[in-house]
Structures are given as structure tokens and as C-alpha cells.
Chains A and B, each alone.
Chain A
Amino acid sequence: MTATTSDRDPTLHLIGDPGEATRAANRRERLARILQRGGAFIVLIVVTLLASLVFGTRFASIDNFLNILEASSFLGLVAVGMTFVIIGGGIDLSVGSLLALSAVLAAFGSQYGTVVAIALPLGVCGLIGLFNGVLIARARMAFFIVTLAALLFARGLAFAVSNEGNKIFHINEDLAVIWLGQGSVAGIRVPIIIAGIAFLVGWVVLTRTRYGMAVTAIGGNEDAARLMGVPIARVKTVIYLVSGLLAGLAGLLVAARSSSGQSTIGVGLELQAIAAVVIGGTLLTGGSGSIAGTLAGVLLLNVINNVINQVGTLNSYFQQVVSGVFLIIVVLVQRYLSREQRL
């Protein structure tokens, strides 16, 4: 550390005044931090403006924007949970399967009424999330393996409930639970509102509460956090519990939206959620990140999907290629910027 300080400013010990080099380095560091934090928003605005110019009102209409928001709300719910998981230094691979399991259970439970249709999927997904958390936090098992096993287990359970995926449960359109997916308040669809609330609560919890600080501390340096008296096991368990619950909530909304529960949905959703979180500037190494960035990441992915769909000639498989390339570029830039910050 001393070596880099003297490299940066050889005049420091002579005159005691921050030299030109130091100020330039500070400016660079600040710029890097702004890019890291707000980069996704900047790209989102640029892409939206470009698409508006190219496609005109076909893209830039209130209806289409609301469509993009609605499509984003399901991924958004999952991504809020994933943001906490990643800031806490882990990854939750089970969310895609949990979403499918929740949708199947919601549709299955709807034959016993709205209360069961809501309580059953949330209860089961919460339980699996809790189990993930306990194994990772208490038994100190690798998060990668635990959530991978949960991925397999939840998908298996979804298939078992739906007769190996052959039976698709339908939700009676008269049930109140349908409102969660298809209702609207003041012209805005309910899923958008729920996702909006989740982002708001997530932002408040992460930036304004002890719990948020504890998550960040654990992701930054678990040993140091333990020495500071952070209850590591409890905080970590809650992270995975909430991630499971949010994935369950997203599945419930998907089921209500489509009036049915299919066991095949949500494959690869975990990757999209991770991509959105990383694009939003959250470091995969943990200890640093933002909910607002995740919102930008989710919206950016959905705007790109929407644009690719507008270009009718482009093969839908390009979507995957573009997401993959995008993820690499963002991570490379992130890597470069965080190196810049450390200078």
C-alpha cells in the first residue's frame, strides 16, 4: 500500500499538498465509481433512446413500455433476492426451479381456494429457501452445491406434482388470486406494482437498516464481520430464505398471470437474474452492490429482448448470444473499473 501511495504522488512528502497526480487519480476513481454504479442506467437510457429513434412509436409507446415493465416484474422479484444473495458473497441457483415449483403449487392449490393457492407455494418455497440457508450458514456447505441440489429437487417436485409435467393445472378465472396476475390499479398491472414495492423495500433494507449493513459486511469480509459481532449464520439464513420466498412470489404471479401452472417454466432464470444483478454493478465477489443497479439491469435485459423481438428478421436464439456477450462485456468493464478504484 505504501508503495502505491508514493508511486502516485512522489511530491507528497516534500510539500504536504495533494499534487496534480493525486487529484487526477481521485477524479479517475470518482468517474470509475460513477460508471460502476450508474453504468447500467446510462446504457439503459442510450439503448432506449436509440430504439425509440429506430423503431419510432412501435417501440416508444406507453403500451410497449408497460409491456416491458410487466415482463420485467417477474425477473425483477427474483433479482431483488439475488442481489442480497450476491452482495452477501453467494449465489442462488435454485430460483428458476423454485419459480416453476411455485407456479405449479399455486395452480394445484387453487382448487382449494385462494388462501391455499397463495400459502402453499410461498410456504414450500420459503421452506426450501430456509433449508438452503441453514445448510450454507450452519453446516458451512458450499452455496453452489446446496442451491444446485435445490435446483434439482424443486424441479423434480414440480414434475412429481404435475404427473411428470403432463398435467397442467388451471386456475379458475373467478378466484381472487387471479387478480395478482391480471388485475390493475390505476391502469398499472398488479405484478408491476408488487415488483416496484419489492425494489423499494429491498433498497431501504439494503441501504438504511442494520440488516443491510450486515449483509454487505459479510460479503466484504466474513471473518472481519464475525469479529465485529455480526450474527453471520442468522443473516445468511435469512438471505436465502428471502431469495426463496421472492422466487416463490414470482412463480405465484406467473401462475396468476397465465391462469395455469406449468412445470417447465423458469429454466435458466437463475442465469438471467445473476446477469441482471451483475450488469447492475453488483460485484460478484460480494460486499458491494445496489438495488437500483439491479433494477436497471433487469430493465436493460427486457428492453434488449423487446428490441430483438421488434427486429422480426432476427432469430430469437440471437437473444441468448447477445445476453452472453453482454454479460462478458459488463463483467470485463466492471473488472477494469474496480481495478481503477483500488489504485
Chain B
Amino acid sequence: MSATDLAPGRRAIGRADVADWVAARGVYLGLLLLVVFNLVFTPRFVEVDNIRLQFVQVVPVAIVALGMAVVIGTSGIDLSVGSVMAIASALLALYIGYGPLVAITIALLAGAAVGVLNGVLISRFGIQPIVATLALLVGGRGLALVIAQGRLTEMFDPVLGAIGSGQFFGVPIVVLIALGVALVVAVLVARTTFGRYVVASGGNPDASFLAGVPVRRTLLSVYVLSATLAASAGIIQTARLSAADPSFVGNLIELSAITAVVVGGTPLSGGRVRIVGTLAGAMLMQLIAATLISHNLPDSVTRMVQAVIILGAVFIQRPRIAA
């Protein structure tokens, strides 16, 4: 690397450009290759039902990953998202007797409350994001199980049923919700002052603070956003299963979400958020799992392949420091 740095010839720049391009947009290349592979080798891949299924299955991860992308943009991390999904699911089952609207509102508010707790611990008390959200990962899952008394609760509510399995002109409602969320987050990041603050806080918090960026408030908002999105993913997941299963909902989703974000070209070091890349990252991981399953490869192999892909994606993006 140092040799290329010292000799700023045309070819050296060209190679660095290719590396940068692959690091940032490799996910689209991967997605394209995977689709081509499936078109050729997977029978019944292009059927409407299958495509619809892939999109429906990716929704919870995609929504959680959108929040995660913003958090990672501030060079933070939110490990508590899976537990927040479980809490939202448990509360939904608990309050469904008061009507779906009340239950959904309470579940979303609970998610926001967890986000406030995360945000306060991180922005006010300066606790590392990984630790603060780790505590809520452990405690939150326990709380959800306490609320639900460890049981699976079946729910037959028409509104939840419509959210879970309804369609609008053949497009599943959950997919529309995810697209709406993606649009809002994309506008938030790219077109608002808040978005500028997020990227600035992630790039250099000290400089941002000195430049008058409200770093603490931005961090707080980011964790509230992430937790609220996680809660809505929990509600969607619950509506799709028409059952609340707090010991299962959102299990290990923090890993999938982080993977989607990182594969999508958002660097873990913060300072940049890629929304479309994140969605593509989520879709890529979903398609990999689906491809392996449709070719009768077991779950265990899927996990190992995912691990290798995560490493590959981050290896490409690793900071290029002169040795």
C-alpha cells in the first residue's frame, strides 16, 4: 500500500478507485450475481409467490437495519434491537384486549422508552454504546419474558391480521410499510439538519461539538429512532405470526441487521450512512439464505456462509493504512 501512496501514478489511483467502488457498491454486484445464479439454477425462482415471500421475509431485518444504519452512522451500535422486538411483542399481546390501536401505541412507546434509556446512558453518562445496549439486550429479553410469563400467546385480531398478511394490489402491506420507513429514514438522513448532525457526530464528535452540533441530543434521538423502528419490526413480526413469542421474536436479529448495514457499505467507524445499500444488504443476506435453503443446504451451512460473507465484506472495506 505504501508504495502506491508514494507513487501517485495514474494506475495506482485507478486501483484505489476500484477498491473504493467495490467497498461501497459491492453489495449491488453481489445482489446481481446472486439473482443471475438463481435465475439459472433455481427452479421456480421467478414466480410471483416466491418473490413476494422473499420480500415479506426480509421486512423485519430491513426495518431494524435502517435504524441500525443511522446508529452506526454516529459510530455507535445498538445490540438491544432484538430484545426491544420481544418487549413490543409481549406488550402487544398484553394490551390487545384494549383494541389494536392502543396495543400498538403502547408497544411503540415502550420501544421509544428503551431508546431513551439507551440514549441517556450513552449521551449523558458517556457509557460505550456496546455496553449500554448489551445490558438492555440481556435485561430487555428477560423483561419481555416476565411480561409474557414465558408463554407464547396467540392473537386473532382483524387489524393485526390485515397488517400481517394483507395485500394492496398484490403487494404485501408489510413491504409497503418497510418502503415507507425506508423513504422517511432516507429523507431524514439526506435532506434534514438532523441527518447532517448524525454524520457529523459519527465523523468526529469532538470537532462537531466545538462546531456547535448538538451531539448529545443527536445521539439520544438516534437511539430512540432505532428502538422505535425495532418495536415496529416486533409488531410486524407478531402480526405475521399472529402470535407473540417473546423468547423467539428478534433473536439474533442484531447480528443480521449489523451485517446488512456493513455489507451495504456503511462503515462501522461512522460518518456515513447508506440507506439504499442497507436495504440491498438486507436483501442480499435474505437471498443467500433462501438460495442455500432452496438448494437443500442445511441451516448450519447457511450460518457458516453468512460468516464468511461478513468477513469478506469487511475485509474489502478495512481501513487502508500504510503499513
Contact = CB atoms under 8 A, between A and B. Distances in A.
A317 B146 contact: yes
Interface in A51-98: 91
B77 interface: yes
B142 A317 contact: yes
20 contacts: A135-B311, A141-B311, A144-B77, A144-B130, A145-B310, A149-B308, A151-B255, A153-B304, A156-B301, A158-B300, A164-B298, A275-B134, A317-B146, A318-B142, A320-B139, A320-B142, A323-B139, A323-B142, A331-B132, A335-B125
Interface string B286-323: 00000000000011111110111011001100110100
Nearest to A160: B300
A265 interface: no
Given A144-B268, A164-B300, A325-B139, A331 B310 contact: no
Given A135-B311, A155-B303, A315 B255 contact: no
Contact of A317 (B77, B126, B131, B145): B145
Interface string A267-278: 010010011001
Contacts of A141: 311, 314-315, 318
B121 interface: yes
A324 B140 contact: yes
A315 B315 contact: no
Given A315-B149, A317-B150, A335-B126, A156 B303 contact: yes
B142 A152 contact: no
Contacts of B127: 331-332, 335
Contact of A320 (B141, B258, B304, B311): B141
Contact of B299 (A146, A159, A271, A274): A159
Interface residues of A, number: 44
Residues of B in contact with A, size category: 35 or more
A47 interface: no
Interface string B129-165: 0111011111111110110011000000000000000
Interface of B: 77, 121, 125-128, 130-132, 134-143, 145-146, 149-150, 255, 258, 262, 268-269, 298-304, 306-308, 310-311, 314-315, 318-319, 321
A274 B77 CA distance: 16
Q: Which of A135, A155, A331 has the most CB of B within 10 A?
A: A331
A317 B315 CA distance: 39
A160 to B, nearest CB: 4
Contacts of B269: 142
Nearest to A332: B125
A152 B255 contact: yes
Contacts of A146: 311, 314
